[in-house]
């Protein structure tokens, strides 16, 4: 049994909020925005305003009602009469008639303990995307990263980071312990406030420094910044977080593409990496 799970909804990371992901909310889609353009839905997909819509119809409806959103998939949810729709690393619930939209966690109460169906669904979806993540990270040159290399490297993890994130700083304090255990830490930039923000400028200064690891140490451990500009990959790496559906920092991507959202103590992370390379490490636990 793994000691960690690729859980998206975590308290130990700094969120990049969106209007649809703050707590539990209910939206009446029958009264919001423009009326649905049924020209995008064929007769087979659209059964009627108050009857069950197909997943394809729900996808078109959400993208029409919520401009700018791109739904990756729509599936039946654990609750009859509702679909779950995935977008940008997040999850929405919508009634099968397309009338009501829910955001927040769906908890099942049928067992002895509440079950977080939202967390479970996001974990499964995250695992499905692991090979794609690994291929994406493999395509990035190390020279475009800020690398803290282990002398005797056994594993290399890639971390999307923001220097203003408290949990990112906490993780960075443990880089020496990670390196000592054979874990190389490679940073990519995730200015959560977006391109052009103060966080973006700070990361650009790190990436443009003559000694990037020292600049990262100064930024995270001493809160010291030396403003610099140069051609840099910070904006493209931020755009990559949108493609990968990352919502907060730190976001750790392991060699096989597994995503761990949030800070993990170095000993637990090392144990997890060992268990992936040698399952007998956690056999019977």
In this predicted model, what pLDDT tens digit does every residue of 123-172 receive, in sequence order? 888 888 899 999 999 999 999 999 999 999 999 999 999 999 999 999 99
CA angle 51, 116, 19 (to 5 degrees): 70
Q: Given this model, what pLDDT does residue 34 score?
A: 43
- CA dist 47 → 41, 65, 105, 144 (Å): 10, 18, 29, 50
Average pLDDT of the segment spanning 53-71: 93
Q: Which helix (H) or strand (E) holds 219?
A: helix 212-221
Contact indicator for 65, 219 with CB cutoff of 8 Å: no
Q: Given this model, what pLDDT does residue 24 score?
A: 63
Considering the candidates 162, 164, 169, 181, report the single residue annotated as catalytic: 162
Annotated catalytic residue 230: no
Considering the candidates 14, 164, 165, 181, report the single residue annotated as catalytic: 165
Considering the candidates 14, 133, 164, 168, report the single residue annotated as catalytic: 168
Q: State yes or no: pLDDT of 44 exceeds 80.
A: no
Question: CATH number of the domain at 25-103, out of 3.30.43, 1.10.260, 3.10.450, 3.10.510?
Answer: 3.10.450
Q: Which of 93, 107, 119, 96 is nearest to 25 (CA)?
A: 93
CA distance 171 to 86: 29
Annotated catalytic residue 144: no
DSSP conformational letter for 6: -
- CA dist 157 → 4, 210, 246, 257 (Å): 15, 23, 16, 9
Mention every residue, 6+ apart, whose C-beta is less than 8 A from residue 91: 84, 85, 118, 121, 122, 125
Domain(s) labelled CATH 3.10.450 in the chain stretch across 25-103
Model pTM score: 0.74
DSSP conformational letter for 180: H
Q: What's the distance, Cα to Cα, between the start and end of the chain in Å? A: 6
Question: CATH number of the domain at 130-282, out of 3.40.30.10, 3.40.50.300, 2.40.30.10, 2.160.10.10?
Answer: 3.40.30.10
Average pLDDT taken over every residue of the chain:
85
Domain(s) labelled CATH 3.40.30.10 in the chain stretch across 130-282
In this predicted model, what pLDDT tens digit does every residue of 238-282 receive, in sequence order? 999 988 888 889 999 999 999 998 999 999 999 999 998 776 554
| Alpha carbon 273 to its chain's center | 19
């Amino acid at each position: 049994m793994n000691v960690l799970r690729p859980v998206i909804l975590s308290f130990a990371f700094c969120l990049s909020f969106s209007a649809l992901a703050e707590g539990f909310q209910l939206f009446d889609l029958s009264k919001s925005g423009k009326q649905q353009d049924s020209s995008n839905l064929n007769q087979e997909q659209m059964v009627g305003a108050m009857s069950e819509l197909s997943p394809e119809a729900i996808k078109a409806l959400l993208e029409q009602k919520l401009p700018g959103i791109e739904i990756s998939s729509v599936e039946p949810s654990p609750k009859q009469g509702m679909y779950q729709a995935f977008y940008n690393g997040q999850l929405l619930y919508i009634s099968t008639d397309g009338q009501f939209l829910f955001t927040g966690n769906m908890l099942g109460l049928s067992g002895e303990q509440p079950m977080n169906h939202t967390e479970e669904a996001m974990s499964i979806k995250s695992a499905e995307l692991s090979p794609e993540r690994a291929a994406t990270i493999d395509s990035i040159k190390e020279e475009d990263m800020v690398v803290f290399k282990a002398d005797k490297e056994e594993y290399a993890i890639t971390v999307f980071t923001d220097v203003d994130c408290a949990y990112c700083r906490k993780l960075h304090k443990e880089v020496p312990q990670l390196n000592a255990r054979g874990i190389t830490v490679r940073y990519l930039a995730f200015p959560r406030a977006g391109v052009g923000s103060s966080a973006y400028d700070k990361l650009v200064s790190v990436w443009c420094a003559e000694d990037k690891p020292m600049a990262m140490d100064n930024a995270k451990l001493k809160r010291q910044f030396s403003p610099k500009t140069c051609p840099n990959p910070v904006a493209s790496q931020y755009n990559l977080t949108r493609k990968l559906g990352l919502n907060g920092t730190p976001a750790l991507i392991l060699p096989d593409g597994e995503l761990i959202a949030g800070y993990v103590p170095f000993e637990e992370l090392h144990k997890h990496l060992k268990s992936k390379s040698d399952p007998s490490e956690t056999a019977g636990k």
